[in-house]
Amino acid sequence: MFQTAFQTRKRRRPDVTSTQCHEEVKFRDVTLYLVEKRMGKSRRNFLTNLARSKGFLVENVLSVHVTHIVSEGNAPQELWNWLEEQNLREPHAKHVLNISWFTESMSAGQPVPVEMRHYILNPALEQRSCPCPSAKPMSTVSPYACQRRTTLENHNKIFTDALEVLAESFEVNGNQGSSLAFRRAASVLKSLPVVLKRPEDTQHLPGLGEYSNAIIEDIIECGASSKAQEILNDERYRTLKLFNSVFGVGPKTAGSWYYRGLRSFEQVLTEPTITLNRMQTAGFMFYEDISKPVSRSEADALKIIVEEAVTSVNSSATVTITGGFRRAKEFGHDVDFIIRTAEPGQEDGLLPMVIDRFKSQSILLYSDFQESTFDLRQRPNHQFEAMDNFQKCFLILKLKRDQVTDIRDGDEVRDRGQCRDWRAVRVDLVAPPIERYAFALLGWTGSALFGRDLRRFARLERGKLLDNHALYDKATNTFLPADTEEDIFAHLGLEYIEPWQRNA
């Protein structure tokens, strides 16, 4: 089919180029095609000549080279039906645009950046949230994060920052439901390849409620969200967030301290009725270090340390960075590692020996080891918040300054260099059984919202239960085995999403 389209284009090429070659082509990245349907032959000729006179390349046939399809007067469904009849290889890989984009480009004398409002959506796809990954944003934004490709390039940071302030405000106040709604809204915007310019641009996006829309509108109109600003200035929010930032302190503890009138770390630490648990004690002791982001070079240095310790215990085991760094983040609040053993059962007793190794190297500052409670027969858990049952540990390790190569100016290790030659870093390790490694890797890579939506998608769209341990088919009452993350996506009938595209 591709071959045929190509040959057709080639045969027709002479008369297209003969028309075009009167004019110099200025914009090589853009190839236009004007849909004649409804526009009419004479208007199409007029617009074609106009565009060519301004240096645009306009094709007479809808070839594979066309990048921008412009339509006027067609109802979206009618247009998309027609496009489908043209047997284009990848209609969704092209910009399907309203005449407004064309008109604006003509008056600008160059192609203007495509914005949401320029797109003509495919109504059929919107209704069923097509998983087609190459599809253009407006027509195909899925309500499931696991069907969106979300890189770290966020075109809508101004909006997502504000929405995340709201999410955080609900979170520190213990309202997880509302927090999730704002996180979802922010996540949808993070996946968009273009910046929102008008309030109407959000019309066809899933997961944006009235409240999120009001925030977006506020920002579009005033340049900032007054609601988010109000929260940022709120004493209660600031105090709860401060308390929550301590390792071992969650919304409950933070709230109770706040209600007792405490407003600062000093007040907490001098309040005689407060007893800190072991984790919180370590949290305060190393607060300055572990509240500072960990850089990628520091994560790489830690990987060498962890690898050395793991292979000293089991020479065939391997260590992979997971969590945010696997999603290509430059900074993290900790470094997450997953350990893969060569044989089933080899993970037994592994982490305690690794922790001992750190201890003997005098780099262990804090350790919370959790023994495995995992059972191969157990079905995936319905609850999203449930932690997995694998053997794992939450650590604070000493990272020596001279172990970090490629220290950039401003890196924490160097800044503190004068007084001590190390910094404290939060490190998480997990050691799942080899049979379930792929599930653990997928779960620990995150993002948290991506994982949550994978599970939600599995249950609601596929009748399957997924968690960090397994995938279970409710229809056949069987476990679906997987050696790789790709296997899991395939079981779920999902396009594979790379780790760096999982920053939902």
Q: Could you tell me if 482 and 360 are in contact, meaning their C-beta atoms sit under 8 angstroms apart?
A: no
Residue from 168, 218, 289, 334 that binds Mn ion (CB under 5 A)?
334
| Of 300, 356, 368, 428, catalytic | 428
- On whether the CB atoms of residues 366 and 286 are closer than 8 A, the answer is yes
Q: Which residue is nearest to ligand CTP (CB)?
A: 446
3-state secondary structure of 212: helix
Query: How many other CB atoms are there within 10 angstroms of residue 215's CB atom?
Result: 22
Q: H helices of 174-209, where? A: 176-190
Catalytic residue among 334, 388, 411, 453: 334
Amino acid code (one letter) for 363: I
What would the two tokens of residue 235 be? 């004493």
Element (H, E) at 241: helix 235-244
CA distance 199 to 202: 6
Q: Token pair for residue 131? A: 């998983």
387 touches ligand CTP by CB under 6 A: yes
Contact with ligand CTP (CB under 6 A): which of 72, 164, 168, 388?
388
Residue 448 lies near ligand CTP (rule: CB under 6 A): yes
Question: CB 428 → ligand CTP: shortest distance, Å?
Answer: 6
Instruction: Work out whether 76 is an interface residue with ligand CTP (CB under 6 A).
Output: no
CB 29 within 8 A of CB 59: no
Q: Which stretch binds ligand CTP (CB under 6 A): 83-91, 234-242, 373-381, 439-447?
A: 439-447
Q: What is the DSSP string of 103-168?
A: HHHHHHTSPPPP-GGGB---HHHHHHT---TTS-HHHH--SSGGGS-B-S--TTHHHHHHHHHHHH
**To the nearest whole angstrom, how small is the minimum distance from the Cβ of residue 302 to Mn ion?**
12
Contact between 444 and ligand CTP by CB under 6 A: the answer reads yes
Q: Is 336 in the site for ligand CTP (CB under 6 A)?
A: yes
Q: Which listed residue (91, 131, 323, 432) binds ligand CTP by CB under 6 A?
A: 323
Quick check: is 289 catalytic? Answer: no
Binder of Mn ion out of 368, 428, 473, 487 (CB under 5 A): 428
Contact stretch for ligand CTP (CB under 6 A) within 122-130, 282-290, 444-452, 492-500: 444-452
H/E segment holding residue 172: helix 157-172
The residues near 292 (Cβ < 8 Å, ≥ 6 apart) are: 412, 423
99 vs 299, which CB is nearer to Mn ion? 299
Q: Which is nearer to ligand CTP, 376 or 387 (CB)?
A: 387
Q: How far apart are CA 454 and CA 477, in angstroms?
A: 19
Select which of 336, 388, 453, 467 is catalytic. 336
For residue 137, state whether it binds ligand CTP (rule: CB under 6 A). Answer: no
CA neighbor of 181 nearest in space, from 195, 198, 193, 164: 164
Given 137, 251, 433, 451, the residue binding ligand CTP (CB under 6 A):
451
Name which position in 207, 323, 432, 443 contacts Mn ion (CB under 5 A). 323
Is 428 designated active site? yes
468 binds ligand CTP (CB under 6 A): yes
Single residue of 54, 333, 459, 462 touching ligand CTP by CB under 6 A = 333
Q: Binding to ligand CTP by residue 381, rule CB under 6 A?
A: no
| Shortest distance in whole angstroms from residue 324 CB to Mn ion | 5
**Cβ at position 37, least distance to ligand CTP in Å:** 47
Examine residue 324 and tell whether it contacts ligand CTP (CB under 6 A): yes
Whether 336 is catalytic is: yes
CA angle at residue 53 from 47 to 58, to 5 degrees? 60
Residue 152's binding partner among Mn ion, ligand CTP, none (Cβ under 5 to 8 angstroms by kind) is none
By the 8 A CB rule, do 12 and 60 touch? Answer: yes
| Residue of 172, 490, 445 lying closest to 332 (CA atoms) | 445
Query: What are 279's two structure tokens?
Result: 């984790």
- By CB under 6 A, is residue 432 in contact with ligand CTP? no
**At CA 247, angle to CA 241 and CA 253, rounded to 5?**
60
How does DSSP classify residue 206? T
Q: Interface residues with Mn ion (CB under 5 A)? A: 323-324, 332, 334, 336, 428
Binding site for ligand CTP (CB under 6 A): 323-324, 329, 332-334, 336, 387-388, 443-444, 446-448, 451, 468
Q: Which residues are catalytic?
A: 334, 336, 428
